[in-house]
Every structure is written in C-alpha cells, then in structure tokens.
Structure 1
Amino acid sequence: MPAEATLRYTVAGLTVQDAGSLIEVLQQRLHGLNDLHLTLKHVHWNVVGRHFIAVHEMLDPQLDRVRAMADDIAERLAALGGIAHGTPGVLVEERTWKDYSVGRAEAIAHLGAFDLVYTGLIEDLRAAVKTVGEIDPATEDLLIEQLRGLEQFQWFVRAYLETAGGALTTADATTETEAAQ
C-alpha cells in the first residue's frame, strides 16, 4: 500500500488497530469494485452479436450500482480515518487478480468470462464479510448489502448461460478464455 499517514482517529467504539484492519480489507474491496467498473465498461464497449443490445443495456444499471458501491466503500474508509486509494497505478500494483482477458467478442463469450469475474469477486467479498464481521457490524452490513447486489448481477449473467435443464454452459471452465468459448 502507498505510504500511509499514521491512523490517529476512527469512529466511536472501535480501536485504531481494529480500524486499521477494516481499512486494509476495504481497500481491497475498493480495488475490486474499481476494476469491476472498468471491466464492465470494457465489455459494454466490446460486446457484439445477436444479444448485443440486451447485454449492452443490461450492463448500464450494473455500472451505475458498482460506481455507487465503490463510493460507499471509499466513504467508509474515510470515516474510519483511512485514505481511499483509487488511482489506477495503486489498483494495478495492489490487485491480486489478472486483468480481464477478452476483447471484442460475442455477448455469450463475454458473459461466460464475466461469470468467472463475478465468482472471484463474490468469493473475495464473502471472505471480507467474515473478517469484518468479527470487528464491526456497520462495515459488515455495508459489505453484505454489496454481496446481495453482486450476486444478483451474476444471476443476470448466468441466465444467459443456463440450459433449459438448469446446467451452466460454463460450469467446467477455469479461465475466462475457456468460459468465453
């Protein structure tokens, strides 16, 4: 993480040490949401094919909500006494995942790859909920609300990938490239 000023205060009822732990978790969530926003925009601009307009328009509300989620995380970081690092350089330096790998592609290819993106985000968010839940119910509540939203977005994506029999066409994919095929 970039050089930090010493945390001198936090919200009432939390120790500075606990706030520091929350800030670390929230910074990774902010990176995840900023990356998701950029990736959603990339897909929005590069989706083609038969389902173009449906997917293009489905992504707009997701983009808006993800931006709002990132803002909520950044504001919680600040309220805890931290600094919300939202620059591209810090995001790239600190992220623990690879960049989205699909360029211009058919809608179903992007949705297949995006299902894996959402899976990674949701798994990381569930771990964060567990970690912060031991420290602060207000931060836990914020993350749980975002978890519900991201799970709903994944459900929308998966509706395109599900067969009539209820199987996901991308169930065995382990990479975005595999899921996109």
Structure 2
Amino acid sequence: MTEVTSTLPEPARGKTGEALQDTLVDLLGISLVGKQAHWNIVGPRFRSIHLQLDEVVDTARAYSDTVAERAAAIGVPPDGRPETIASRFSLPSTKDGWLRDTDVVSLLVETLEAAIGRLRERIAVTEESDPVTQDLLISITADLEKQRWMFQAEDYPRED
C-alpha cells in the first residue's frame, strides 16, 4: 500500500486531518449550495445576487483545493467524493425549485455563519497540533466572513 508520510506526529496529524476533512466537506457543500441558488434565484435583485453567488462559489472551490492539498501534504488522503459530501454535509442548504432573492440572501448568511462557527472551532483545535493549518483556516474564515457580511448588507432593512 502506498502511503504519504507526514512531518506531523500522529496525534497532531489525526486532529489536523479531521479538521481539514471537515472543512473540505463544508467548502464543497457551500460551492454546491451557491451554484444551486445561482441557477434558481428569481426576483428583482436577481443579477447582483446571481453574480455575488459566483464569488462565493469561486472562493469555496479555490479553498477546497488548498485544503485538500494541505491534507495530502500532511499524509491524510482528502475525500471529496460525492457520496462523502452527501453523507457528511450538514450546513443549511437550499430547497428545490425557484428561490426568491430575499430567501437566497438569508440562506447564504445562515450557511456562511454556520460554516464560520465551525471553522473557529477548528482554528482552536489546530492551534497546537498544526499552526500551518490553523493559519489556512484563519484565512478561509476571514474570506467567508467577508462574503457573509456582503450578503448580510444585501438584507439590511431599507427605509423607504
């Protein structure tokens, strides 16, 4: 059997690998949620939110690749298979059919907020086990917080 070795000791590799795998599932799931909403959004703010969803998808996909490669680099085989994502993804997701623009904004705020909360837990877990992975998780959190802020600003009550 082929095995990639790690520079991390086994207990640290285990904790870090789990944090990376869970993050990979979240990111791949977020990219799917974003695309599903992108294809099915309707409403007066269709175009702006449609384009904003592409930014979320691009961010999630880029980071998912970085996370998977980090896992491989520390000797943990990343698992991004569809059946893994389907069985393990537990963030808020879209319903089927057309999606009102206001519902999409609320969904993305909720989904990103949940992902950020989980990332913050993983940041704490990896503080001692692998500061390199912790740094990556901090960067992901910052970018997802920016995306959440942008969607939340879309939903800000307007005074007419």
The two structures have a TM-score, normalised by structure 2, of: 0.91
Q: Deviations for 1:32-62, whole angstroms, at most 9, x for unmatched residues? A: 0000000000010011110000111112222
- The percent of aligned pairs where both chains have the same amino acid is 30
Provide the rounded CA distance (Å) in 1 between the counterparts of 2:83 and 2:12. 27
Native 8 Å contact 2:109 2:152 kept in 1: yes
| Structure 1: gaps of 5 or more residues | 166-181
* Paired residues for 1:89-168 under 5 Å: 89-97=83-91, 99-101=93-95, 103-164=97-158
The two structures, once aligned, show a CA RMSD in angstroms of: 1.9
* Paired residues for 1:1-181 under 5 Å: 9-11=5-7, 14-97=8-91, 99-101=93-95, 103-164=97-158
Provide the rounded CA distance (Å) in 1 between the counterparts of 2:113 and 2:16. 23
Provide the rounded CA distance (Å) in 2 between the counterparts of 1:17 and 1:162. 45
Provide the rounded CA distance (Å) in 1 between the counterparts of 2:32 and 2:85. 11
Q: CA deviation at 1:97?
A: 4.3
Native 8 Å contact 1:9 1:16 kept in 2: no
The two structures have a TM-score, normalised by structure 1, of: 0.81
Moved more, 117-126 or 91-100: 91-100
Native 8 Å contact 1:40 1:63 kept in 2: yes
SS in 1 for 2:129: coil
Q: Normalized per residue, which structure has more helix?
A: 2
SS in 1 for 2:30: helix
Q: Deviations for 1:89-118, whole angstroms, at most 9, x for unmatched residues? A: 011223344643364122111111221111
Provide the rounded CA distance (Å) in 2 between the counterparts of 1:18 and 1:49. 48
How many residues are treated as equivalent by the alignment? Answer: 159
Q: Which amino acid aligns with 1:133?
A: E
Task: Compare relative contact order (CA 8 Å, sep 6+) and give the higher one, 1 or 2.
Answer: 2
Q: Which amino acid aligns with 2:95?
A: S
